[in-house]
Structure 1
Amino acid sequence: MPALTATMLIVCGATCPSTSEANASDSGRVSGSQRAVVLANGGAALPYTVADPAQMAIIGIARAEAERLVGRKLLLKVTSLRRKDGWAFLFSTMIDENGDPLDLTGTILEDAARAGVASRVFCTLLKQDAGTWRIVESGLGVTDVAWTGWDGKYGAPPEIFEFDADD
């Protein structure tokens, strides 16, 4: 699967995959309509329906983990999602339901953000085992290339980490 070429603002709400749906395999189906907004052409928002159920399952799992770690509801503005050989790497920015930067006040990132050593970045490495995606490692609020070495440490294909974070 090629990397996403446009930045996507994932809008899940009631249509996000449930835990059981999120564990669908690459060939599995996720029920419901998953919707997103593609930010392209200088920021113009274009409606987009994600047709790849595995992609939405991965995003749903990542979003749930980010919400658990941060302690509040959020959306993920996905910059890159690449998969290969049962591995996936997602790089995103946490935003609120209005598409604004997520307010980090009252979160575990508040003090670090105030000191300028935390961001709204959430990245995660996932592995698919027996048709179930699970998070292997995540970076929350990272300000550097936290995923450097994850390929060697876990045996993930290095190609899934190749992207331009400024896209």
Structure 2
Amino acid sequence: MVASLGLASAGTAQSLREPAKGSSERAAILDALRPAVEAEMRGSVEFVVTTMRAAPNWAFVQVEPQRPGGGSIDLAQTGFRDEADMMDGLTVFALVSFQGGRWNLVDHVVGPTDVAYAGWSERYGVPAKLLGLEE
């Protein structure tokens, strides 16, 4: 699967866009991430989007998960309760790929204290610009 994901075109970096709020594309990108985050947060979540950049077959997002209706998530009640002292909050960074007619989660990280997604460009073949990194 990783080999097929590495086929990003050179033109991808030129065509970055932010899917519109309320659009079906934006919802589909977030829905690709939701099951993994809900499992880690041990309950339903909604996302406050900080960053969303999409290219023809890739999307990169930075989101703040919260409980439906805006409630905060108690770290002690999540799968991260034993890692709280090594985390910088619950910010989620994710890479999503459009394949097979739908958006699919490729990788994500929760609460990193560094730029944990810096290696995704090389690992998955996505443009560094999509990740907000210099090319």
- Pick the TM interval, shorter chain: 0.7 to 0.9
List gaps (5 residues or longer) in structure 2: 1-15
Counterpart pick for 1:92 among 59, 63, 76: 63
Q: What TM-score do you get using the length of structure 1 for normalisation?
A: 0.62
What pairs up with 1:116-155 in 2 under 5 angstroms? 117-155=87-125
Report the equivalent of 2:17.
2
Give the length in aligned residue pairs. 118
Once residues 31 and 105 of structure 2 are traced to their aligned partners in structure 1, the CA distance between those partners, rounded to angstroms, is: 12
Aligned-pair Cα RMSD in Å: 2.2
Deviation at 1:118, TM superposition (A): 4.2
Deviation at 1:49, TM superposition (A): 5.8
1:60 aligns with 2:31: yes
- The runs of 4+ residues in structure 1 deviating greater than 4 Å are none
> Identity across aligned pairs (percent)?
25
- 2:86·2:113 contact (CA, 8 Å) conserved in 1? no
- Higher RCO (CA 8 Å, separation ≥ 6 residues): 2
Q: What TM-score do you get using the length of structure 2 for normalisation?
A: 0.75
- 1:109·1:141 contact (CA, 8 Å) conserved in 2? no
List gaps (5 residues or longer) in structure 1: 5-47
Once residues 116 and 69 of structure 1 are traced to their aligned partners in structure 2, the CA distance between those partners, rounded to angstroms, is: 16
Q: Which has the higher strand share?
A: 1
Once residues 21 and 123 of structure 2 are traced to their aligned partners in structure 1, the CA distance between those partners, rounded to angstroms, is: 35
Deviation at 1:54, TM superposition (A): 1.2
Q: Which has the higher helix share?
A: 2
Once residues 142 and 70 of structure 1 are traced to their aligned partners in structure 2, the CA distance between those partners, rounded to angstroms, is: 15
